[in-house]
């Protein structure tokens, strides 16, 4: 009985610790407030690169009416090059994600009676580009098991394209450092607004799948189940700039999924095949450098701050409120489906992809709040000094909120021989759209090459 009570008390202690840690975490539940961090979709998450055209090529021979035997051991290698660019959309602009301010400049006019206050309008027009290459290795085994490994290397380019329109007419303001000047200055150690393109080049994380296929209806269709793992090799994000480019996700992940194929129609030289794949993956906690706003409101991290005993000299608060935090991206769901048409050596494929990512969970590292060090808000010549506690930090401001996007694509390919080896060469174009301001609407093109051994 005593042993049971000890176990019960210890269990309650763990629950109490867990609940205490939970109170020191933040999850973004909306996009109405400004955000300090943006996590883009990585190339590995663009499942149409890897599944489009290739999945049919991997399994098309098993849809033959007389293919009763188990599949032979085959090795398939696919590779391609891609380019993606964000679409300019003022209604769903990322500028509202970072700066949730009015877009109507006509509502902001200078006060002619007070020319001692500098006034300007600062706008952002964020742009994202990706160019790179991807690789996929797929091997079937004679017992219906298969393994698949993929990775990518690419360059991401981000450009906030800030623009400042001065409203003040006082000539004494000609030589001052404007808000845009301040946001890009060396006064800020983190969260700078760059007035130029920022680039990041590197390897995406490696994703490995192990699965098993079950064939049915005289091999007219198959259903596959698989488990997946994400191995992080990409660099962790930096908090030095707002909207900094990022390659990969830099988190370990585990998941599972299923894929499905069915031969809708098949004749001697024509076929129509329905394909689908749905995957779930959970990304685990890792430490990242993030900047925090105060609960005072959007952009409060850029307010002047100082420490007790040194109120005469102030620095931007973001220099204090940027710290290492425990970040858990949590769940990611990718659903892909396509209708593949084949006539002789020509192929056409119309596909759709739904991508969902859960809001990040951001916590103080090791479930303990960092030391306070007497931080407060105040500037030179202020008569008051407002002390701030870490309870005033908004953890949700550093969390990327929930994302849902839709993508459609059209692909064309041709079967040929190169150096006496069968190869499928294709080209595709896609458009990704969303109703939310926290994701990129973008178009893309890619070329695909696939062969087997």
Indicate the SS3 state at residue 367: helix
What local confidence, expressed as pLDDT, does residue 113 receive?
46
Q: Write phi, then psi, for 420 (nearest 5 degrees).
A: 65, 20
Q: For residue 374, what is the enclosing H or E element? A: none
Given a contact cutoff of 8 angstroms between Cβ atoms, the answer to whether 55 and 448 are in contact is no
Indicate the SS3 state at residue 201: strand
Q: Write phi, then psi, for 349 (nearest 5 degrees).
A: -140, 130
For the stretch 418-424, contacts whose Cβ atoms lie closer than 8 Å and that sit 24 or more positions apart, written own/partner, are 421/451, 422/451, 422/452, 423/449, 423/450, 423/451, 424/53, 424/57, 424/347, 424/448, 424/449, 424/450, 424/451
What local confidence, expressed as pLDDT, does residue 353 receive?
98
Q: Which residues pair with 272 in a beta bridge?
A: 265, 341
Given a contact cutoff of 8 angstroms between Cβ atoms, the answer to whether 300 and 321 are in contact is no
What local confidence, expressed as pLDDT, does residue 4 receive?
36
Closest Cα partner for 77 from 133, 167, 3, 139? Answer: 139
Given a contact cutoff of 8 angstroms between Cβ atoms, the answer to whether 314 and 379 are in contact is yes
What is the span of the domain harbouring residue 154?
Answer: 2-452
Q: For residue 64, what is the enclosing H or E element? A: none
What local confidence, expressed as pLDDT, does residue 7 receive?
34
Residues in contact with 297: Cβ distance below 8 Å, sequence separation at least 6, in sequence order:
33
Give 5-40 as a DSSP string. Answer: HHHHHHHHHHHHHHHHHHTTEEE---SSS--S---P
Task: Give pTM, 2 decimals.
Answer: 0.87
- Which residue reads 């769940």 in tokens? 331
Q: What tokens appear for 14 in the block?
A: 């763990």
**Using CB atoms within 10 A of its CB, is residue 91 exposed (0-12), middle (13-18) or buried (19+)?**
exposed
Q: Which residues pair with 127 in a beta bridge?
A: 159
Q: What tokens appear for 143 in the block?
A: 């017992």
Euclidean distance between CA atoms 25 and 285, whole angstroms? 12
What local confidence, expressed as pLDDT, does residue 74 receive?
85
Euclidean distance between CA atoms 212 and 226, whole angstroms? 6
Pairing assessment for the beta strands 361-364 and 393-394 based on DSSP bridges: unpaired
Euclidean distance between CA atoms 205 and 238, whole angstroms? 17
Number of domains in the chain: 1
Per-residue pLDDT of the chain (453 residues; tens, 9 = 90+): 444 333 323 333 333 334 444 447 888 776 557 789 999 999 999 999 999 999 998 888 777 665 555 456 789 999 999 999 998 765 557 888 888 754 433 333 444 444 566 778 888 889 999 999 999 999 998 888 999 999 999 999 999 999 888 876 666 666 778 888 889 999 999 999 999 999 999 999 999 999 999 887 777 888 999 999 999 999 999 899 999 999 999 999 999 999 999 999 988 889 999 999 999 999 999 999 999 998 888 888 998 887 766 656 778 889 988 989 999 999 999 999 999 999 999 999 999 999 999 999 999 877 666 556 677 776 544 556 677 777 788 899 999 999 999 999 999 999 999 888 899 999 999 999 998 888 999 999 999 999 988
CATH number at residue 412: 2.40.160.40
């Amino acid at each position: 009985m005593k042993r049971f009570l000890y176990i019960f008390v210890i269990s309650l202690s763990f629950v109490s610790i867990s609940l205490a840690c939970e109170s020191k975490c933040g999850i973004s539940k909306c996009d109405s407030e400004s955000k300090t961090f943006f996590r883009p979709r990585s190339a590995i998450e663009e499942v149409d690169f890897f599944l489009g055209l290739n999945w049919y090529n991997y399994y098309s021979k098993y849809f033959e009416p007389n293919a009763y035997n188990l599949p032979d051991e085959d090795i398939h290698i696919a590779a391609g090059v891609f380019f993606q660019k964000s679409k300019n959309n003022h209604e769903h602009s990322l500028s509202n994600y970072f700066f949730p301010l009015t877009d109507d400049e006509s509502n902001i006019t200078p006060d002619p009676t007070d020319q001692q206050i500098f006034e300007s309008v600062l706008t952002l027009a964020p742009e994202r580009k990706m160019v790179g290459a991807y690789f996929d290795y797929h091997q079937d085994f004679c017992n219906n098991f298969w393994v698949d490994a993929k990775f990518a290397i690419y360059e991401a380019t981000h450009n906030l394209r800030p623009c400042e329109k001065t409203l003040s007419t006082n000539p004494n303001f000609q030589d001052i450092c404007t808000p845009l000047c301040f946001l890009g200055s060396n006064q800020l150690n983190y969260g700078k607004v760059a007035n130029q393109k920022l680039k990041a080049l590197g390897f995406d994380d490696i994703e490995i799948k192990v699965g098993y296929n079950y064939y049915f209806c005289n091999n007219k269709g198959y259903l596959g189940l698989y488990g997946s793992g994400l191995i992080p090799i990409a660099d962790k994000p930096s908090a030095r700039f707002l909207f900094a480019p990022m390659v990969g996700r830099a988190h370990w992940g585990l998941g599972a999924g299923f894929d499905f194929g069915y031969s809708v129609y098949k004749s001697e030289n024509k076929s129509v095949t329905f394909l689908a794949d749905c995957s779930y993956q959970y990304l685990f906690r890792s430490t990242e450098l993030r900047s925090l706003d105060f609960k005072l409101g959007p952009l409060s991290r850029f307010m002047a701050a100082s420490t007790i005993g040194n109120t005469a000299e102030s620095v931007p608060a973001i220099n204090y409120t940027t710290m290492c935090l425990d970040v858990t991206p949590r769940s990611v769901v990718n659903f892909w489906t396509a209708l593949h048409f084949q006539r002789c050596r020509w192929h056409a494929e119309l596909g759709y992809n739904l991508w969902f990512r859960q809001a990040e969970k951001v916590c103080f590292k090791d479930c303990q709040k960092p030391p306070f060090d007497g931080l407060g808000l105040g500037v030179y010549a202020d008569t008051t000094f407002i002390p701030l506690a870490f309870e005033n930090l908004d953890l949700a401001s550093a969390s990327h909120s929930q994302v849902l996007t839709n993508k459609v694509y059209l692909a064309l390919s041709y079967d040929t021989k190169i150096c006496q080896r069968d190869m499928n060469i294709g080209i595709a174009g896609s458009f990704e759209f969303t109703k939310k301001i926290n994701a990129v609407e973008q178009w893309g093109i890619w070329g695909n090459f696939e062969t087997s051994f």
